[in-house]
Amino acid sequence: MSTAVMSVRVPGEIKTRLDALSERTGRSGAFYIRRALEEYLEDLEDVYAADEAHKAWEAEGFPTRSWDEMKADLGL
């Protein structure tokens, strides 16, 4: 696996928490940063993909309904 170096600025509280977690678990801060990015990026990619699909659906002229309309239609 190839890697790249990144530099980010975080609030001091986040750095303190990361350092404490690293010390408590014996894992590096970089390990937790990678894990957090991997999980959060996947979630963000899913959200944006769903938004793009929704926009494409609407652009094709298919009808959409709001959540409130759906709940009312289902009697919820």
pLDDT digits (tens, 9 = 90+) for 3-61: 899 999 999 999 999 999 999 999 999 999 999 999 999 999 999 999 999 999 999 99
Domain range annotation of the chain? 12-74
- Give φ, ψ of 9 to 5 degrees: -105, 130
Residue 64 has pLDDT above 90, yes or no: no
Q: Residue 42 in 3-state DSSP?
A: helix
Per-residue pLDDT at 46: 96
Give the Cα separation of 48 and 38 in Å (integer): 16
pLDDT for position 25: 98
Q: pLDDT grade, residue 63 (50/70/90)?
A: confident
